[in-house]
A = this chain, B = another copy of it.
Amino acid sequence: MSAWRLVEGPAPEPGATAEAATGTSGPARPERPRTGARRMLVIAAVMLLTLVGAGGLAAAGTGMFAEKPDGCGKPDRSIQLYAVELPKDGTQIRIGYGLTPQTASYPGPLMEMMEGECLAITLHNQVSAETLAALRTDPNHPLGVSLHVHGVKYTQQSDGTVQSGSYVPPGGSRTYTWYAQPRNNKTGAQGTAGYWWYHDHVVGGPHGTQGLSAGLFGGLVVRRPGDPKPDRTYTVVFGDRQSINLRRGTATDTCTEVNPQPGPSCLVARKGERVEFVVVGIGNDMHTFHLHGHSWADTRTGVISNNGQPFVDSIPIIDNKTLGPGDSFGVQVVAGDAVGPGHWMLHCHMQFHSDAGMSTMLHVLDENGNMPPGMDHQHAAAGAAPASATDSGQHQHQ
* A 319-342 binary contact with B (CB < 8 Å = 1; else 0): 111111111110000100111111
Looking at chain A's contact residues, is the secondary structure mostly helix, strand, loop, or mixed?
Answer: loop
A163 within 8 A of partner (CB): yes
CA A365 – CA B258 in complex, angstroms?
59
Tell me the minimal C-beta distance from A330 to chain B in angstroms: 9
A205 within 8 A of partner (CB): yes
Task: List residues of chain B with CB within 8 A of the CB of A65.
Answer: 340-342, 372, 374
- Count of interface residues, chain A, beta-carbon cutoff 8 Å: 206
Task: List residues of chain B with CB within 8 A of the CB of A43.
Answer: 343, 375, 377, 380
Tell me the minimal C-beta distance from A16 to chain B in angstroms: 6
Tell me the minimal C-beta distance from A67 to chain B in angstroms: 10
Tell me the minimal C-beta distance from A3 to chain B in angstroms: 6
Q: A44-B361, A109-B13, A207-B354 are in contact. Are A288 and B371 (CB under 8 A)?
A: no
Tell me the minimal C-beta distance from A328 to chain B in angstroms: 7
User: Which residues of chain A from 53 to 100 have any CB-CB distance to chain B below 8 Å in the complex?
Assistant: 56-57, 59-60, 62-66, 69-72, 79, 98-100
Q: Which of B5, B11, B196 contacts A369 (CB 8 A)?
A: B5
Task: List residues of chain B with CB within 8 A of the CB of A191.
Answer: 311, 317
Q: A43-B343, A320-B327 are in contact. Are A235 and B13 (CB under 8 A)?
A: yes
